[in-house]
Amino acid sequence: MKLTPPYAVFLGDATDRLSLKMANSIAAWRKEQCIGEITLPDCTVTTGLPQLSVEQAAELGAKTFVLGFNNAGGHIDAKYLPDIKLAIQQGLHIVNGLHDKLTDIPELVSLATQYQVDLIDIRHPTSRFKTASGENRTGKRLLTVGTDCSVGKMYTTLAIHEALQAQKINSTFRATGQCGILIAGEGVAVDCVVSDFISGAVEALTPDNEDDHWDVIEGQGSLFQPAYAGVTLGLIHGAQPDALVLCHILEREKMRGMPSYTLPDINEAIELNLTHARLTNPRCQMVGISVNTMAVDEKTAKEVCLQISQQTGLPCQDPIRHGVKDIIQQMMTH
Amino acid sequence: MKLTPPYAVFLGDATDRLSLKMANSIAAWRKEQCIGEITLPDCTVTTGLPQLSVEQAAELGAKTFVLGFNNAGGHIDAKYLPDIKLAIQQGLHIVNGLHDKLTDIPELVSLATQYQVDLIDIRHPTSRFKTASGENRTGKRLLTVGTDCSVGKMYTTLAIHEALQAQKINSTFRATGQCGILIAGEGVAVDCVVSDFISGAVEALTPDNEDDHWDVIEGQGSLFQPAYAGVTLGLIHGAQPDALVLCHILEREKMRGMPSYTLPDINEAIELNLTHARLTNPRCQMVGISVNTMAVDEKTAKEVCLQISQQTGLPCQDPIRHGVKDIIQQMMTH
**Spatial CA neighbour of A66 closest among A94, A35, A42, A47:** A94
Of the pLDDT bands very low, low, confident and very high (cuts 50, 70, 90), residue A127 is confident
Judged by DSSP in three states, A289 sits in: strand
Q: Does B262 touch chain A (CB under 8 A)?
A: no
Q: What is the mean pLDDT of chain A?
A: 96
For the stretch B121-142, pLDDT in tens is 999 888 889 999 999 999 999 9
Residue A334 above 80 pLDDT? no
Q: Which residues of B touch A133 (CB under 8 A)?
A: 227, 258
Q: Would the CB atoms of B195 and A190 count as touching at under 8 Å?
A: yes
Task: List, in sequence order, every beta strand (DSSP E) within chain A.
Answer: 7-12, 34-39, 64-67, 93-96, 119-121, 140-146, 171-174, 214-217, 243-249, 254-255, 258-262, 285-292, 316-317
For the stretch A26-48, pLDDT in tens is 999 999 999 999 999 999 999 99
Whether the upstream peptide bond of residue A125 has omega within 30° of 0, thus cis, is no
Residue A72: other Cβ atoms inside 10 A: 6
For the stretch A168-179, pLDDT in tens is 999 999 999 999
Judged by DSSP in three states, B132 sits in: coil
DSSP of A36-52, one letter per residue? EEEE-TT-----SSPB-
The confidence score (pLDDT) of residue B334 equals 77
Edge-to-edge order in the sheet of strand B171-174:
B171-174, B214-217, B140-146, B243-249, B285-292, B316-317
Do residues B72 and B46 touch, judged by C-beta distance below 8 A? no
Q: What is the mean pLDDT of chain B?
A: 96
Nearest chain B alpha carbon to A235: B230
Q: Does A234 touch chain B (CB under 8 A)?
A: yes
Whole-number Å distance between alpha carbons of B26 and B28:
5
Residues 6+ apart with CB under 8 A from A321: A293, A298, A301
Whole-number Å distance between alpha carbons of A181 and A123:
9
Q: How far is CA A20 from CA A17, A87, A115, A123, B239, in A?
A: 5, 20, 28, 16, 34
* B268-297 burial: b if 16+ Cβ within 10 Å, else e: ebbebbbbbbebbbeebbbbbbbbbbeeee
Whole-number Å distance between alpha carbons of B219 and B145:
5
Q: Does A135 touch chain B (CB under 8 A)?
A: yes
End-to-end CA distance of chain A: 33
Q: Which residues of A touch B272 (CB under 8 A)?
A: 275
Q: Would the CB atoms of A226 and B132 count as touching at under 8 Å?
A: yes
What residues does CATH 3.40.50.300 cover in chain A? 140-333
Q: Tell the burial category of B168 from Cβ atoms under 10 Å away from its Cβ (0-12, 13-18, 19+).
A: exposed
**Spatial CA neighbour of A9 closest among A82, A87, A120:** A87
CA angle B122, B125, B131 (to 5 degrees): 150
Q: Does B193 touch chain A (CB under 8 A)?
A: yes
Nearest chain A alpha carbon to B227: A132
Whole-number Å distance between alpha carbons of B316 and A82:
66
Whole-number Å distance between alpha carbons of A98 and A12:
12
- Does the structural domain B140-333 have CATH classification 3.40.50.300? yes
Whole-number Å distance between alpha carbons of B288 and B294:
18
Q: How far is CA B192 from CA B26, B72, B122, B201, B222, in A?
A: 21, 18, 10, 11, 16
The confidence score (pLDDT) of residue A72 equals 79
Residue A88 above 80 pLDDT? yes
In this complex, the residue of A195, A237, A275 whose CB is nearest that of residue B195 is: A195
Q: Would the CB atoms of A226 and B191 count as touching at under 8 Å?
A: no
Q: What is the mean pLDDT of residues A194-222?
A: 97
Q: Would the CB atoms of A230 and B195 count as touching at under 8 Å?
A: yes
Low-confidence ranges of chain B (pLDDT < 50): none
Q: Does A80 touch chain B (CB under 8 A)?
A: no
Whole-number Å distance between alpha carbons of B174 and B48:
26
Q: Would the CB atoms of B258 and A190 count as touching at under 8 Å?
A: no
Whole-number Å distance between alpha carbons of A84 and A66:
9
The confidence score (pLDDT) of residue B61 equals 98
**Spatial CA neighbour of A273 closest among A240, A250, A244, A247:** A244
Q: Does A120 touch chain B (CB under 8 A)?
A: no
What residues does CATH 3.40.50.720 cover in chain B? 7-121
For the stretch B85-115, pLDDT in tens is 999 999 999 999 998 999 999 999 999 999 9
Q: What is the mean pLDDT of residues A208-228?
A: 98
Q: Does A204 touch chain B (CB under 8 A)?
A: no
Q: Would the CB atoms of B191 and A195 count as touching at under 8 Å?
A: yes
**Spatial CA neighbour of B193 closest among B208, B206, B181, B176:** B176
The confidence score (pLDDT) of residue B125 equals 85
Q: Which fold has domain B7-121?
A: Rossmann fold (3.40.50)
Q: Which residues of A touch B195 (CB under 8 A)?
A: 190-195, 198, 230-231, 234
Q: Which residues of B touch A132 (CB under 8 A)?
A: 226-227
Nearest chain A alpha carbon to B232: A230
Residue A150 above 80 pLDDT? yes
Q: What is the mean pLDDT of residues A201-206?
A: 98
